[in-house]
Structure 1
Amino acid sequence: EVFVPDNFFTIVADMHEEDKVAKKETLDLDVPETELDFYKDIYQKESDGKIIEVIERGETVNIILDRTIFYPEGGGQPSDIGIMSIDGKIYEVTYAEKLNNIVLHHIAIPKDSDKESLFATLKGYIGTEVHMAINWNRRITLARHHTGTHLVIAAARKVLGQHIWQAGAQKGLARSRIDLSHYKRITQEELNEIEKLANEYVMMNIDLDINWLSRDDAEKEYGFTLYQGGVVPGSQIRVVRIPGIDVQACAGTHLDRTGEVGPIKINKTERVQDGVERIDFSAGLAAIDSIQADKEILRESAGIFSVTNEQLPKTCDRFFSEWKAQKNEIAKLQKEIANLKVSTLADNAIEINGLKVLKEIIDGDIKELQKIATDFTDNDKADVVFIGNNDGKIVGAATKDCGVQVNGIIKEAASLLGGGGGGRPNLAQGAGPNADKMPEALDLAIELLNKN
């Protein structure tokens, strides 16, 4: 007989979590748990509550209410922000967090005040009724993205297979991301199908079924799949079910119907690590903004070539092919020019201490200078080469058996140009801003060679 513990699915889900969440900070306060009104009605924009405590934590001043409509950050969803009206004065709520089931509302310190003064003032309001109002655009945007996340995950599982498992998620205002376990890169065709299916779920306008269930009952009903977003704490868990589509234990703010999500646009996908694909998407008005931004990029790009949007791919391909051909032709011509320069320069070599030495100013970039210098020393056209250009670049080269170390010489010559240099004993380079002193720098190199 095999013993199966009551919390079997919780244990299995916990084992599959890749990133263990750090132990949360605790709060040692003798106050009742905060009543979370946003779970009763996520569309509630304003409400009243009573201040039951004011505390300082680090650099912040925090109000604790008996009840709140401010969603505290959690589950990859940022917190609500907004305002509180206390005794006729408006205070800005910049962040909300939950510790030990107590919601802390971070209050912005006014410009004409400081933390200590604000703390003392708010302490005097304990027991006072306050009026709170959330930033509604932020709330509804995050709710669209959170419900949209569940739809994209469900669509990905349908398209890619039942092995798909959420490895992480982060909701945002302009875009959100989901990390999914998958054994290979998601193709563009698969991505298009996921996007299309997620939007079909939106248009089906399905009513969400959201309930609090005991962990045992929830696991018996839905099993392992509950913990797509990770193991949630508590004996009572909030189950968000989109009938026929998806079910998860989730504490985030969700819409009443999928139709309220609005359009879903997948922006991109990337491989964040072996076996994990990240899908970046936008929902609702954020999706419209993303679509319009893409259209503007397309319009501007087509305008540069004076073609229609439809003609842009072929035009880009033609220009790119021509550019590649011209680049190859330029490289070929540069090589021919370099060979001509080398053949001309060979007659300018002089003899110093029994060594064949070339000293020249050449119209070429640093790579061309290096190529010419090494061509001379590698092919026994010269024993030592010192060449520079009109941009303040200088190069030195020497054969390995001539006994000359050019790196020290080039370093001193480059200092005359107001810069520095170095390299290997048989090949070195330098540069400086005083390009007009290149003749003196080359003369110094010859002078140092004579002393060698």
Structure 2
Amino acid sequence: QYDRQEDGSMPELPHRNLDTGMGLERMAAILQHKSANYDGDLMQSLIALGEKISGKKYVADDYSGASRSLRIIADHARAVDFMISDGILPGNEGREYVLRRLLRRAVFHGRLLGIEDAFLTTFIDEVNRLMGEAYPELLKNVALVKGIVSAEEERFSQTLDNGRSYLDAAIAGLAEGTELPGEVAFKLHDTYGFPIDLTVEISEACGHEVDMAAFDACMTEQKERARAAANRDAWGDFNNVWTALSDKLAATDFRGYDEESCEAKVLAIVSEGCEVASAAEGSEVEVVLDATPFYAEMGGQCGDTGVMRCDGATLRVTDTKGKGSLYAHVCVVEQGTLEVGATVTATIDHGRRELIRRNHTATHLLDAALKQVLGEHVSQAGSLVEPGRLRFDFTHFEAMTADELERVEGLVNAEIFAAEPIVTRVMSLEDARATGAVALFGEKYGDVVRVVSTGESDAPFSRELCGGTHARNTADLGFFKIISESSVGSNARRIEAVTSAGAIEYVDERLAQMSEVAAQLKCRPADVTERVASLMRELRDTQKKLEAATTGAGSDKVAAAFKSAVDHDGYKLVVARLDGLAGKDMRSAWDGIRDAANGEPVACVIASATPDGKVALLAGATDAAVASGFAAGNVVKAIAGLVGGRGGGRPNMAQAGGSDVSGIDAALEAAKKELGL
């Protein structure tokens, strides 16, 4: 509002209500007599860490190259730490996408600085050291933040590695001084997720400009295709029968919270996408009623089934779907003819609805339990509620442990056994948020919402905004059992579970399977674990004996290979082809050669055409052979390319794989030459 002058006067600003940008960091920079935020002590500490990791030097007045990348990494690492600590996880929409872009941009600039290994968690530690005291929320879930950052960095690094392989191959095929085609750069961007900036950087380092005009043309063409497809879809939705019906019919009155049967008037009948006046016996149609007890599929809860009856017609309702403000009852006319204007009695399948109610309530209990066990970052990312099971997707960066799953099950079952009533209240959205009710991020809610809580307490185990149908009491669920936990994408997990009748059916099935296994193992069900462990030990012993017979010192192949050994520089050297051994068997073959040497210095270079048509190479040596000059890693590195592979390792042990079986003999000859034979 005011502009304080040197003499102390404060005239009003000529333009009020403008953000001056004088935030904490700029004020700190001024007080530290710095000309930019990045020159303040906070950022300088992070930049110094980047210098240490990358080996590059930061220059304050250089706004390109390494200095720019060091600034970006410092800034983005801090932002990433704060965002994840605030409960945001990397994703593909909204603020989650902003986080992912920041994190990936930091990794990308790390690559530009020559940092090939993971490094961002080191910055997270430094941000926490610098700012953890002032912002204690940074220190609450350090392991979670570092786990998410590490997983995301690893995934993007793999993307960069895959794209780099494609780019290197494309550059290798270019004549000196020619441009990298824009189509290649676009494929890297579109298929591999490889940043165009990195493509330009690498290409220019190899002496090739990128045809950016062609790249931009490909980008424009893709956007036009996407826009055209979106327009077609939008026009298709706008021009269908349901849009027309929504314009002329009032919204369906849903009475299913309190009623399982009601009388209703048939407002419309739709057959094969067209509005019709009647439906004869055997027809499959969608029926619109003015009121209904049938819940239409939404919010993860499946649609109700049941029957409709009127004078002269009976319809079996196989599903109910939401069409904007209208409910479409998917029906088969089993008897008679249904006409628009008829009055019907609509009745849901009571037993099916009860099972759905219980599973829907279980998803709320599960959500609350996951937040308690894993942390407040857990957020619902999708669900499916059916009569026989429930599926719940949630944000989390790693697989749950057996202990975590057990704790979640225990919390849910404790609420079930507590027999808490399910309390539903209708209130304003503002009041609902004030109660702490959980709302789905990104979901659009009206001014008035339903809030579902477990119990009358001011701080219930679960309280969520929800329009679905629910059990009347947690005890209705019987008990809750998780049947699987899996990944459904980056930072998203899925739990499938059962309750009540579904849980009993699941347990009965597993007990029957256990009894069948016990019968086959000829033991009691309680002894199955011990019996299986005993059989596994026997199997391992048998496999070891078989392996020793195939690749050990007493095997024919190893014995023949050792007989071919030559004395070389103070140790015995075996160079041999042992076809038929898989890659995992090569070390056993080396153990056999070493055992056959009976304590004498020995080294080997062996190769095999594996059973799956690939090549396995191994070079091994005793310590005495290494001391005499044998270097396994150097040998394998020198010959792996002849079999279409790459490899290396330590002086006493190195392995490689390859794809060209025809090159094995040449590789072994090259090994002899490398060793001076």
* Structure 1 length-normalised TM: 0.65
Q: 1:384-414: per-residue Cα shift (whole Å, max 9, x none)?
A: xxxxxxxxxxxxxxxxxxxxxxxxxxxxxxx
Q: Aligned to 1:192, what secondary structure does the other structure show?
A: helix
Residues 294, 140 of structure 1: alpha-carbon distance in 2 compared, 3 angstrom cutoff: same
Offset of residue 286 of structure 1: 0.3
Task: Classify 1:238/1:171 alpha carbon distance in 2 versus 1 (closer, same or farther; 3 Å).
Answer: same
Which residue identity lines up with residue 463 of structure 2 in the other structure?
A: V
Corresponding residue for residue 307 of structure 2: 83
Q: Which of the residues 31, 37, 40 maps onto 2:249?
A: 31
Q: 1:114-151: CA deviations, max 9, x gaps?
A: xxxx9xx53xx222111222222221111110001111
1:208–1:17 Cα change, 3 Å: farther
Change (3 A) 1:210 1:230: farther
Gaps of 5+ in 1: 3-11, 113-117, 347-365, 376-422, 428-452
Percent identity, aligned pairs only? 25
1:167 positional shift: 1.8
Among 435, 444, 454, the residue aligned to 1:222: 435
Match of 2:289 in 1: 65
SS at match of 2:506: helix
Amino acid in structure 1 at the alignment position of 2:435: Y
Superposition CA RMSD, Å: 4.1
**Residue of structure 2 in register with 1:129 after alignment:** 343
- Alignment match, 1:169: 383
CA contact (8 A) 1:338 1:368 kept: no
The whole-number CA distance in structure 2 between the counterparts of 1:99 and 1:17 is 30
Is the CA contact (8 Å cut-off) linking 2:480 and 2:500 kept in structure 1?
yes
Contact 1:54 1:61 in 2 (8 A): yes
For 1:203, give the aligned amino acid.
Answer: F
Shift of 1:425: 4.9
How many Å separate the matches in 2 of 1:368 and 1:16?
52
The structure in which a higher percent of residues are strand is: 1
Deviation at 1:95, TM superposition (A): 1.6
Task: Report the counterpart of residue 496 of structure 2 in structure 1.
Answer: 280
Structure-1 residue corresponding to 2:267: 52
CA distance in 2, matches of 1:173, 1:184: 29
Looking at structure 2, the residues matched to 40 and 54 of structure 1 have their Cα atoms a distance apart, in angstroms, of: 26
TM alignment of 1:364-383, pairs within 5 A: 367=580
Give the aligned residue type for 2:557: N
Q: Check 1:202–1:16 CA distance in 2 against 1; reply closer, same or farther (3 A cut).
A: farther
Q: Does the alignment pair 1:251 with 2:467?
A: yes
The yes-or-no answer on 1:94 pairing with 2:306 is no
Distance in 1 of aligned mates of 2:463 and 2:408 = 18
Distance 1:179 1:132 in 2: 33
Residue 262 to residue 229, structure 1, CA distance change in 2 (3 Å):
farther
Number of residue pairs the alignment of both structures matches = 340
Aligned residue among 405, 409, 420 for 1:206 = 420
2:306 is matched by which residue type in structure 1?
G
Higher RCO (CA-CA < 8 Å; seq separation 6+): 1
Pair 148,17 (structure 1): closer, same or farther in 2 beyond 3 Å: farther
Q: How does 1:36-435 map to 2 (within 5 A)?
A: 36-41=254-259, 44=260, 46-58=261-273, 61-108=285-332, 121-122=337-338, 125-219=339-433, 221-223=434-436, 225-228=437-440, 231-243=443-455, 244-335=460-551, 338-339=556-557, 367=580, 425=662
5+ unaligned residues in a row in structure 2: which ranges?
A: 2-16, 18-87, 98-232, 275-283, 565-578, 590-659, 665-677
Equivalent pair of 2:270/2:285 in contact (CA under 8 Å): yes
Separation in 1 of the partners of 2:469 and 2:663?
69
Structure 2 residue matching 1:138: 3-state secondary structure: helix
Question: Which letter maps to 1:101?
Answer: S
Q: Secondary structure at the residue paired with 2:534?
A: helix
The CA deviation at 1:338 is 5.0
In 2, distance between residues paired with 1:67 and 1:267?
Answer: 38
What code does the residue aligned with 2:476 have? E
Structure 2 distance, partners of 1:265, 1:127, is: 47
Q: CA deviation at 1:153?
A: 1.3
Q: Residues 422-452 of structure 1, C-alpha deviation per residue, up to 9 Å, x if partnerless? A: x86568xxxxxxxxxxxxxxxxxxxxxxxxx
After superposition, the C-alpha distances for 1:227-285 in whole angstroms (9 at most, x for unaligned) are 13751443322221224111111111111211112211111212333432322210111
Question: Secondary structure of the equivalent of 2:244?
Answer: coil
User: 3-state DSSP class of the match of 2:362?
Assistant: helix
Contact 2:313 2:333 in 1 (8 A): no
User: Which one-letter code corresponds to 1:66 in the other structure?
Assistant: D
Q: Could you tell me how far apart the structure 2 residues matched to 1:61 and 1:188 are? A: 47
* Alignment check: 8 A CA contact 1:168 1:229 kept: no
The code of the aligned residue for 2:466 comes to C
TM-score (norm: length of structure 2): 0.45
- Contact 1:92-1:108 at 8 Å conserved across structures: yes
**C-alpha displacement of 1:217:** 3.0
- Secondary structure of the equivalent of 2:530? helix
CA contact (8 A) 2:289 2:327 kept: yes
CA drift at 1:337: 6.0
* Displacement of 1:57: 4.8
Give the secondary-structure state (helix, strand or coil) at the position aligned to 1:311. helix
For 1:321 and 1:62, the matched residues in 2 are separated by 61
